[in-house]
Amino acid sequence: MKADDFKVLVSCWADVMKENRDYLIDLDSVVGDGDLGLTMSDGFLAASEAIKDSSETDIGKLAYFAGKAMSTAVPSTMGTLMASGFMAAGKALKGQTELKLSGIAEFFKAYLEGVKSRGKAEAGDKTFLDGLYPAAESLLADAAADTDLLTAASKAASAAHEAFLSTKGMLAKHGRAAARGEKSREILDPGAAVADLMMKGYADFVRNG
């Protein structure tokens, strides 16, 4: 994946968030104020628009620029978390102009760590992290095993989707859902749904060449 490919990937994320805006609104309405779909569609669009015409070849810089644009466009809690992921990945990949699977896995791992650091959550707290963590681990394992790009992307997307579904039954420890106590186990986590959609978008990007 080179810089132009990365720009296409971010555009794919903007598209998948727009297509699922109402879905995210419905999920978020159960536990929050229902603005997640708007925040994610607007935020990823801003990230994409910020880099689409850039001549920058450094993927790390592009990721950082995308995150900065998102943080300005959607300065909400979730918007800030997603922007932090982009910026952390940008710092980790600074200077890289082409990513093989190992570099792509590094991107998602750094994105995860950026969100984790900013939000002070852990895997198991019923957040975005629970959707992305298994996908990132899957990519890291497949990079070590020299798995082909498409197979690795499909496996990561499946891992994220299964992880999202598994948030039903988990106890929420952050945000408005946490106020529900044990009743929070009955709901799917909207943040993990965003991770699910990100990995779906990534798999579609790889599948479409």
Check residue 184 and give its pLDDT. Answer: 67
What average pLDDT score do residues 63-67 get? 98
- For residue 61, give every residue at least 6 positions away whose Cβ sits within 8 Å of its Cβ, in sequence order, or none: 90, 94
Q: Which of 76-80, 99-103, 156-160, 178-182 has the lowest mean pLDDT?
A: 178-182
**Please, which pLDDT band fits residue 34 given cuts at 50, 70 and 90?**
confident
Check residue 139 and give its pLDDT. Answer: 98
Six-digit token string for 118: 């900013």
**Please, which pLDDT band fits residue 170 given cuts at 50, 70 and 90?**
confident
What average pLDDT score do residues 149-169 get? 96
Check residue 31 and give its pLDDT. Answer: 81
Six-digit token string for 147: 């798995």
**Please, which pLDDT band fits residue 11 given cuts at 50, 70 and 90?**
very high
Report the interhelical angle of 59-73 vs 36-51 (nearest 10°).
140
**For domain 3-207, which CATH number applies: 3.30.750.210, 1.25.40.340, 3.40.50.720, 1.10.3720.10?**
1.25.40.340
Q: Which of 106-110, 123-127, 173-177 has the lowest mean pLDDT?
A: 173-177
Q: 164 with 195: CB under 8 angstroms?
A: yes
Domain map (residue ranges) of the chain: 3-207
Q: 178 with 157: CB under 8 angstroms?
A: no
Q: 159 with 200: CB under 8 angstroms?
A: no
Q: 142 with 152: CB under 8 angstroms?
A: yes
Q: In percent, how much of the chain has pLDDT > 70? A: 99
**Cα 35 from Cα 14, distance rounded (Å):** 16
Q: Name the H helices within 20-148.
A: 21-31, 36-51, 59-73, 77-92, 101-119, 128-144
Q: CA 124: distance to chain centroid?
A: 17
**Please, which pLDDT band fits residue 9 given cuts at 50, 70 and 90?**
very high
Q: Which of 3-12, 63-72, 115-124, 190-199 has the lowest mean pLDDT?
A: 115-124
Query: Mean pLDDT, the chain, as a whole number?
Result: 94
What average pLDDT score do residues 168-193 get? 81
Q: What's the predicted TM-score (pTM) here? A: 0.94
What average pLDDT score do residues 67-95 get? 97
What average pLDDT score do residues 100-115 get? 98
Burial class for 137, CB neighbours closer than 10 Å (0-12, 13-18, 19+): middle
Check residue 133 and give its pLDDT. Answer: 97
